[in-house]
Structure 1
Amino acid sequence: MTSIKRARLANSPKENKKVQVVQLPPQSDHLLVSSTKGKQKTKQSTKLLSTCFKIVAGSYERLLYGLDGSVSLNETNDSYKFELRPTFLFPAHVSCIKAVAASPNGGKWLATGSADEVIKVWDLHRKKEIGGLMHHEGSITQLHFPSRSHLLSASEDGTLCLFRARDWVVLRALKGHKGRVNSMAVHPSNKVALSVGNDNTLRMWDLMRGKGSASTKLGKEGEVVRWSTTGSSFVVQSHNTIDIFTVDMVLRHTITHPSRIHTVRFSNRVNGSGELLLVGAEDKKLSIYDMPDGPEKMPVVIAEIIGHSNRIKAVESLPLALPRSTKANALLSTIILCTVSSDGKIHLYDLALLPADQKAGSEVLQISPVAEYDTKGTRLTCVTIADGEALEHAQSVNGKRKRGDEDSEQEDEDEGWGGHEREAEHDESG
């Protein structure tokens, strides 16, 4: 294994110091189980949104870009102003960066995955590297934090690994794919996950028990899999087609996109109700499909997000609070979209620019970016958005967070995701 350098999130890689990479202990035999015996949960599931956020993007050139973003009120015309400010840039891996993910609800942890087979873990708040997770024996293809306390990874070695963020122990290696895992997606309930690979299969995993629960042959290689925001359906993308399935793996529709697809993501609307499907492709646009309620209706393109001069490689979304405005019908929050492209630019879009009456049959609306950052030609590959540090999840005293609040939240998350673990046989079936 090539030696890995430990790096602070700084503007210059010269500050890097060589240290030993964190080698995780052998895989634990513990499974994830849900246990809430005799305990009534009263914590509200809602959260307060922030007006600031962090964007982190990886590139083929091994460079990691960090940006601070914010939204403020332009009092001159009572509109909103979005700003992006670069905060760090340095080579994070010894090979191209293929995946990045930030933990939710405060964005403390950042994970980056590379073709060097290492997952780097960073503390975004303290701006330093924690170490490298070296469990996989293939390139890292995707990373995702289902909760603040767990990280799920996918790799070309054919496995998915679930790490516990408290000590970065591997809770479970999910085996079943015969070859590279291209993509995985966790259900909104955090109880099950889907994965697709170059073995032409779609697999469903029971995360509570840590084992495969179902699988089906797709007849083609799935490249991206995504759950809808409600968890009532999911999509599998392959080349320029998108198959829409019900939760019981029944194919409902097939969308044929005009060009080669690279990224797919669901989002709620800001104005009105309903769900949107965001599709980034070789045509240099992010197409917005309206997802109809009835299963008999086909999704259609109602808007296009424009501005890039090359293929769109990835898109992420984040709910964001808006500053108070004097307008009577002013929104309290919006959803921002962040795209990265092979043109080296990071674009930010405001989904509130999509009106509620923009439906099937309307003229296709074109939406331009509200902010952008130019890396000057870097081939960007992946992106993630983290909540800003101003986000609060607990009561405060004199404007300061209560001591122990974060620990109690961590315990609540561990309880559902393995706080009460039990031993079981390692299951490699799917």
Structure 2
Amino acid sequence: MPNSKRTERSSKKARVVSSTQGDLHLSQSPATKGKEKAKLSTKPEITLPTSFKIIAGSYEKLLYGLDGSVSLNEDNDGYKFELKPSFIFPAHVSCIKSVAASPNGGKWLATGSADEVIKVWDLRRKKEVGGLMHHEGSITQLHFPSRSHLLSASEDGSLCLFHARDWVVLRTLKGHKGRVNSTAVHPSNKVALSVGKDNTLRMWDLMRGKGSASTKLGKEGEVVRWSTTGSSFVVQSQNTIDVFSTDMVLRHTITHPSRVHTVQFSRRVNGSGDLLLVGAEDKKLSIYDIPDDPDKIPTIIAEMVGHSNRVKAVEILRLALPTSTKANETLSTTIVCTVSSDGKIHIYDLASLPADLGAASETLQISPVAEYDTKGTRLTCVTIAEGETAEHDSRVNGKRKRDDEENEQDDEDEAWGSETKNKA
């Protein structure tokens, strides 16, 4: 490995190495100073997107980009979902392990690989921006808690919080002894959880950039996820899923019928309450009902089917639906995207799950509403980026769009707390 790369890693700030294609060079300007400490504000109501983008990584180093859309289906008075390829190219020199898109209409895409590099892309322009070379191990997970922050995890045992404007490292969180497998940021954006090879569950204070709690699990946690309200979380290991309260007290242990690879929480489209989506070796995405009563054990009520091999990853996105002339109300749904070792990308409509479908009902089988076949590529990870929104479409001036986005990001930086930035 070149010595220059090792030198870059030893810096307190992650260097952003410009791509060979001559795309945009990101600066290493210091973090903004002088801003007053601000508390996290209540998240504003977000206009739902009317389209979406799917980005999937693979073992074969290929990155797939798809444009997704939904339209009225006049034949059956329903909706038609479509996926169209946007790009396919080798993005890394080794297996792609994680992909993440910035939320709320953000433009950034981050990809992490076994080559130890986090690549940053301008998703709107479809251009590589550069590489963050701060970790000394394979990148295991990437996540944008906000449009201006990127959280990464690595086999080197550390987590890093980057500022997604100048790409400086705000904090390097160390505490795990060995590989970090998964991270989860609380809906408040104030704390994060992580699990790793050291059989430890750790909680991090993102505002102060330090650990706040830890507990031994007695087994290696592979995936950790917060519920949609942040009132509980789960840790997955092999075929078991442990349900914890926020004070790290174990409530339930779910034993899934087969080896689990991914889990994700989602709100119901019809009715209220949380669902737990579980992708596994059984080639299905199982849907668990999460009872309001914490003493009741979650049970499978439906299965999303159609894959011919293990389900490796799942992501969700709330989406605005087009309205017909017969209806004036604003409609929305939640789409579920899965990728599998069979090389296929599936889209499911969570509105297919009835509101009154409970644990006593027969297990419902849900088929995909759209599919893309990579022809045998072993897909490993996936993310969904928001496309255009109705509000975004109504704007006529490109400069106004940029000004609005910059103002929103400035507000978000203050909400995240200048205390963290000034300590970097």
For residues 206 and 186 of structure 2, what CA distance do their matches in structure 1 show? 10
Deviation at 1:329, TM superposition (A): 10
Corresponding position of 2:68: 69
Identity over aligned pairs, percent: 77
For residues 382 and 45 of structure 2, what CA distance do their matches in structure 1 show? 25
For residues 381 and 233 of structure 1, what CA distance do their matches in structure 2 show? 27
Match status 1:359 vs 2:358: yes
Corresponding position of 1:283: 282
Residue 412 of structure 1 aligns to a residue whose secondary structure is helix
Corresponding position of 2:407: 408
Change (3 A) 1:410 1:328: closer
Q: Does the 8 Å CA contact 2:208/2:419 hold for their aligned counterparts?
A: no
Corresponding position of 1:114: 113
Q: Does the 8 Å CA contact 2:116/2:135 hold for their aligned counterparts?
A: yes
Q: What amino acid maps onto 2:210 in structure 1?
A: K
Q: Does the 8 Å CA contact 2:23/2:129 hold for their aligned counterparts?
A: no
**Counterparts of 1:109-258 in structure 2 under 5 Å?**
109-258=108-257
Corresponding position of 2:314: 315
Q: Deviations over 1:234-277 (max 9, x none)?
A: 00000000000000000000000000000000000000001000
Q: Deviations over 1:156-198 (max 9, x none)?
A: 0000000000110001000000000000000000000000000
Q: TM-score, normalised by structure 2?
A: 0.90
Corresponding position of 2:305: 306
Corresponding position of 2:8: none
Deviation at 1:35, TM superposition (A): 2.5
Corresponding position of 2:38: 36
For residues 328 and 403 of structure 2, what CA distance do their matches in structure 1 show? 39
Q: What amino acid maps onto 2:130 in structure 1?
A: G
Change (3 A) 1:393 1:245: farther
Match status 1:386 vs 2:385: yes
C-alpha RMSD over aligned residues: 2.8
Q: What amino acid maps onto 2:115 in structure 1?
A: D
Deviation at 1:77, TM superposition (A): 2.5
For residues 390 and 224 of structure 1, what CA distance do their matches in structure 2 show? 31
Residue 409 of structure 2 aligns to a residue whose secondary structure is helix
Q: Deviations over 1:18-71 (max 9, x none)?
A: 669979969x8999x99338xx97x97111112210000000000000000000
For residues 282 and 34 of structure 1, what CA distance do their matches in structure 2 show? 50
Is there any run of 5+ residues in structure 2 with no aligned partner, and where?
Answer: 6-18
Q: Does the 8 Å CA contact 1:34/1:208 hold for their aligned counterparts?
A: no
Q: Does the 8 Å CA contact 1:241/1:256 hold for their aligned counterparts?
A: yes
For residues 58 and 343 of structure 1, what CA distance do their matches in structure 2 show? 13
Deviation at 1:209, TM superposition (A): 0.4
For residues 406 and 184 of structure 1, what CA distance do their matches in structure 2 show? 27
Q: What amino acid maps onto 1:279 in structure 2?
A: V
For residues 239 and 336 of structure 2, what CA distance do their matches in structure 1 show? 22
Deviation at 1:389, TM superposition (A): 3.0
For residues 399 and 144 of structure 1, what CA distance do their matches in structure 2 show? 28
**Counterparts of 1:342-357 in structure 2 under 5 Å?**
342-357=341-356
Q: Does the 8 Å CA contact 1:395/1:402 hold for their aligned counterparts?
A: no
Residue 404 of structure 1 aligns to a residue whose secondary structure is helix
For residues 36 and 214 of structure 2, what CA distance do their matches in structure 1 show? 23
Is there any run of 5+ residues in structure 1 with no aligned partner, and where?
Answer: 5-15
Change (3 A) 1:70 1:422: closer
Residue 323 of structure 2 aligns to a residue whose secondary structure is coil
Change (3 A) 1:422 1:146: closer
Residue 356 of structure 1 aligns to a residue whose secondary structure is coil
Q: Does the 8 Å CA contact 1:200/1:217 hold for their aligned counterparts?
A: yes
Change (3 A) 1:29 1:79: closer
Change (3 A) 1:73 1:170: same
Corresponding position of 2:13: none
Deviation at 1:290, TM superposition (A): 0.1
Deviation at 1:76, TM superposition (A): 2.8
Q: TM-score, normalised by structure 1?
A: 0.89
Change (3 A) 1:220 1:126: same
Deviation at 1:420, TM superposition (A): 5.1
Higher relative helix content: 2
For residues 80 and 91 of structure 1, what CA distance do their matches in structure 2 show? 34
**Counterparts of 1:92-103 in structure 2 under 5 Å?**
92-103=91-102
Change (3 A) 1:131 1:49: same
For residues 349 and 194 of structure 2, what CA distance do their matches in structure 1 show? 30
Deviation at 1:392, TM superposition (A): 3.8
